[in-house]
Amino acid sequence: MASICLCFQVHQPFRLRRDFDFFSIGSQLSYEDTSLTAAVVRKVAQKCYLPANQLMLKLVNEHKGKFKIAYSLSGVCLEQFEQYCPEVIASFKKLVQTGCVELLGETYYHSLSFLFSKDEFQAQVRAHEEAIGRYFDIKPTTFRNTELVYNNQLAEAAEAMGYRLVLLEGADRLLGWRSPNFVYRPASNSNLRLLLRNYRLSDDIAFRFSNAAWEHYPLTAEKYAHWIHSVGASSQVINLFMDYETLGEHQWADTGIFQFMQKLPTAAFARENVRFQTPTEVTQTHVPVGIIDSPYTTSWADTERDTSAWLGNEMQRSAMEYVYSLESRVRNTGSADIIHAWRKLTTSDHFYYMSTKRSGDGEVHRYFNPFPTPYDAYVTYTNAVNHLNESLIANSVVREERPAREAIHNAYL
């Protein structure tokens, strides 16, 4: 019997002020747009998180625990829920208490830190574990790196940190002739397990569901379940990974997305060759059939399935290099506020907004971009990092002056 592994990414970045210009650097003005951050998370909570969580709880109860799901909740998103809509956290707690939900580990700040600083990566993963433990009294054992960024070294790092399973993209160039619908092991030949996203079936819901020009439009639960049954006949697992915001935000309620999700479990259970399982349950049920060797880095973004969504042009690369160049100085301040501010600037969304891709991928980037152009995103971001750099300089001066002042004071005692 094949498993349906349904995993949702839940994430919102802290927003930057679009009017934070060069002349704002070093001023008392904050580069964070708290009003916009609050407005966005409250809007998405009403359109997606609250109704979707209510629906998922209903499905779990209706199907008497046979419907299983998993969530990857970024730390910065949990912060926003706590500050602006705590009822969302309460609704996730109700879901977790059913025993039918698995919470995954990731980087607290939804960053690409693994590619730039292994120490920072580990710190952010541990911070996320602490947050999941604090809110839900759970320690994750499945790891989902930001945007499914993965390579052989990521598998080794995750296992060294105690994880037993890693999720990644079922990229064609990674799989070759093989199918994403099986459990695999990494090239290190370890005890770690790998689950690969079936991007075709996932994107049928996430991107194509409301596209009237799509040959399979409209997508019904019965039609989709038929596809799943066909795949499941010769597979171990169908991994459906997508943004939770697909439900109600990316695909608005009037597209019928909630009705689709409500009917999907019943349609899937119409035949006995599939069942819903959490990622951990999948690996407890199915044995690995082979090894995935990934000497290069893959992700779930864009047609390339690589890191070009965040590092594809010179603006993105220079911005990323700039912010990580401050790492040691940030840590040396010993200031929790400065470290937290810097880490929020490592969130991957900031670099995604700077993409200059065209055609289909470019349209997706523009849809998610709150800035008029990628260049506006770059300028605003650079101004914000420059502002943080000014605070580092000021902090350094204070730290250097304090011993001198104390020495003069002590001389007169």
| Residues annotated as catalytic (active site), given as ranges | 147
Cβ-contact 174, 209 below 8 angstroms: no
Q: Which element (helix H / strand E) includes 228?
A: helix 221-232
DSSP state letters, 264-312: HHHHHTTSTTEEE--HHHHHHHS---SEE--SS-B-SSTTTTSSHHHHS
Output the CA torsion sign for 279, 285, 288, 289.
Answer: negative
Strands 193-197 and 183-186 turn out to be: antiparallel
Residue 210 tokens, joined: 């409301």
Does residue 308 contact residue 171 with C-beta atoms inside 8 Å?
no
Look at residue 341 and give its three-state secondary structure: helix
- Alpha helices (runs of H) in 8-49, residue ranges in sequence order: 34-44
Sorted by sequence, the CB contacts under 8 Å of residue 296 that are 6+ apart come out as: 151, 306
Contact present, 307 and 115 (Cβ < 8 Å): yes
Distance CA 33, CA 29 (A): 10
Ramachandran area for residue 359 (φ above 0: left; ψ -120 to 50: alpha; else beta):
left
- 194, 166 Cβ separation under 8 angstroms: yes
58, amino acid identity? K
Burial class (CB in 10 A: 0-12, 13-18, 19+), 96: middle
Residues paired with residue 185 on neighbouring β-strands, in sequence order: 291
